[in-house]
Amino acid sequence: MSRLILALDVLDREKAMNIAKRVAPHVHAIKVGWPLVMNTGIEVVSEISRYAPVICDFKVADIPNTTRLIVRTARENGASGIIVHSFVGHDSVEAAVAEAGDMSVYVVTEMSHPGALDFMQSVTNRMIEIAKNAGAKGIIAPATRPERLREIRKIAGELEILSPGVGAQGGKAKDAIEAGADYIIVGRRIYNAEDPEKEAMAINKEIEKE
Ligand code: XMP
């Protein structure tokens, strides 16, 4: 079973569907976010879910009621997971989990880009607590900082760790898995590759021994 999640941040429906079909057999899930959904419509979620489970990376950061509406829309369109922010507080994350039903909720804790050090890193531990207490399925933590991933793994308990930042942002797939990620999220390295399917298979090979 693959521990790879494809981040499908392309803007064109046909290109997205072609990559999704070819890469789906080699990934655990496909993550779609605002770039694709804004350019093609929310129906793309159910279309892609015919090939692989879809995680909606909507980074929801709103009051509980609006959070519920967004989570419901993702669920009704066939998503199997959704990513939400926790800096907005426990009640919004709880609302997401309550509305999610069978869908998994993943909570952003520390982002992979350099700007995450401005504010986020100082409250990562509290955000992990919010995720745990709300009954989230997992958290998002950075492959760009394996030393942080190790620390986060220690306090994350049963939470799954999904880790973006491999490839274009400089993180290494194997380092992230060794540091405790359950799944790695990879976008540009796959969808910009000449042969995305081959690239996904190569990444699986890099991490399969773990
Ligand atoms: P690349 O092209 O850099 O794409 O492989 C990475 C994907 O993951 C998203 N991303 C994040 N999502 N927390 C998140 O919830 C993060 O720290 C984070 N860093 C990257 C990014 O939007 C892209 O889809």
- Write down the pLDDT at residue 210: 47
**Residue 108 near residue 123 (C-beta atoms within 8 A):** no
Side-chain-side CA neighbours of residue 108 (13 Å): 23
* Domain 4-208 listed as CATH 3.20.20.70: yes
Q: Which pLDDT score, from 0 to 100, does residue 209 have?
A: 64
CA distance 37 to 16: 11
Nearest to 33 by CA among 109, 118, 142, 106: 106
* pLDDT per position as a tens digit, 15-26: 999 999 999 999
Ligand 1 centroid–CA 102 distance in Å is 24
Cα 49 from chain centre:
15
Residue whose CA lies nearest to ligand 1 atom number 20: 164
Mind listing the pLDDT tens digit for each residue in 148-200? 999 999 999 999 999 999 999 889 999 999 999 999 999 999 999 999 999 99
Structure-block tokens of residue 204: 């699986």
What is the distance between the alpha carbons of residues 11 and 9, in angstroms, rounded to a whole number?
Answer: 7
CA diameter of the chain: 44
Tens digits of per-residue pLDDT, 69-92?
A: 999 999 999 999 999 999 999 999
Cα(106) to centroid of ligand 1, in Å? 13
Q: Whose CA is nearest to atom 17 of ligand 1?
A: 111
Beta-sheet strands, E only, within 80-158: 81-85, 104-108, 138-140
187 CA distance to ligand 1 centroid (A)? Answer: 8
**Cα gap 52→117, rounded to integer Å:** 33
Query: How far does the centroid of ligand 1 lie from the alpha carbon of residue 176, in Å?
Result: 14
Name the catalytic one among 59, 132, 174, 198: 59
Pocket, ligand 1, Cβ cutoff 6 A? 7, 9, 33, 57, 59, 83, 108, 111-112, 140, 142, 164-165, 167-169, 185-189
Cα–Cα nearest to 176, from 206, 138, 135, 132 = 206
31 is catalytic: no
Atom of ligand 1 nearest to the CA of 142: 17
Q: Is the distance from CB of 57 to CB of 63 less than 8 angstroms? A: no
